[in-house]
Amino acid sequence: MNFIKILQKPHPFIYNGYSIIVPGVISFLIIATFAPFGVSEFPFHYRILMAGIFGVIGSAGVVIMVNVLKYVAPAFMREERWTLGKEVILVVLVIGGICLIIFFVFLATGTSDSGIWDLFKRVVVNTLVISVLPVTVMILFEQYFHQKQKLEQANLLNKKLITLKPDQQYQKTEVQSPPKLILFKAENGKIELQLKPEEVLYLKSGGNYVEIFYQTENGHLQKKLVRNRLKAFTKMLSKSLFFQCHKSYVVNGNHIVSVEGNARNYELILRGAEERIPVSRAKSEALSAFLISG
């Protein structure tokens, strides 16, 4: 059970120049140094050439697999829901793709005198043995580095919150005087809910519906499900008071208690709310500016 929880931990989805080049460089160094797959039998210059080919294969495997998965399984590849378990699955698929590419290279060039099945087994075993250590190190480093980075950034945002609320009560001011009540209407125009701005904690979108979380006069948390799009509500909410931190969430800045960070993104802790509100990667910088404008 603990192992499953570990796999469900947030993990950064990193796909940039480094994530493409590093596997290729590691593959090159391993082939050139340890010369597996019978490469040691060849002259040094040929070994370097083979190491270069395997390096290109390593980088190409990453590019091909990531883009294929983004096309055939876009829901699985959503960055905001990336976990350590998904990272492991992606790595296994990438290594599997690299195994196939290497296998077909040997098969096409005729550089191995082994049978097809023996060649395939050798390629798989050697590739797995070569990949385990660098892949494990990379995953652990990514998890540690980005966890540390997000925690540091979250601490800076929390310091801004404390600076902006000397009485420990963070309050944003309205640039324009808002209406006394916010009228939340359904798609058919029917008023479903009337609230004062300070009563609204956050809005959560789910398809054609929006859940409105608000506090009653006695401080109890309530929610109301309204058939409408989140976009329709964001248009009427004050930009100085409400912040869309995610494509599915809009929060009331006056209820932000603290900002926490994990390896993937930020999470907002709201006064009176049990749910941690995610902040998408695209909204991270905007969050800082929103808090400063208080």
> For position 175, which CATH number holds?
2.40.50.1020
State both tokens at 159: 């310091």
Q: What's the confidence (pLDDT) of residue 171?
A: 55
DSSP state of 174: P
Q: Which range marks the domain in which residue 214 is found?
A: 165-292
Q: What's the confidence (pLDDT) of residue 111?
A: 64
Partners of residue 270 on adjacent β-strands: 256
131 with 231, same domain?
no
Q: Is residue 43 part of a domain?
A: yes
Q: What's the confidence (pLDDT) of residue 115?
A: 76
Cα-to-chain-centroid distance, residue 223: 28
Domain boundary among 148, 180, 205: 148
Domain boundary among 148, 177, 194: 148
Is the whole-model pTM more than 0.75?
A: no
Q: What's the confidence (pLDDT) of residue 98?
A: 78
95 with 199, same domain?
no
Number of domains in the chain: 2
184 with 246, same domain?
yes
Residues of the chain with pLDDT under 50: 166-170, 175-176, 178
Q: What's the confidence (pLDDT) of residue 9?
A: 75
Q: Is residue 160 part of a domain?
A: no
137 with 200, same domain?
no
| Amino acid occupying residue 162 | I
DSSP assignment of 10-61 equals B-----SHHHHHHHHHHHHHHHHHH-TTTGGGS-HHHHHHHHHHHHHHHHHH
71 with 208, same domain?
no
Q: What's the confidence (pLDDT) of residue 27?
A: 76
Q: What's the confidence (pLDDT) of residue 37?
A: 64
Widest Cα–Cα separation across the chain: 82
143 with 195, same domain?
no
Domain boundary among 117, 148, 179: 148
109 with 51, same domain?
yes
Q: Is residue 215 part of a domain?
A: yes
Q: Is residue 69 part of a domain?
A: yes
Q: What's the confidence (pLDDT) of residue 36?
A: 67
Q: Is residue 206 part of a domain?
A: yes
172 with 288, same domain?
yes
Q: Is residue 127 part of a domain?
A: yes
139 with 17, same domain?
yes
23 with 124, same domain?
yes
125 with 170, same domain?
no
DSSP assignment of 95-112 equals HHHHHHHHHHHHHHHT--
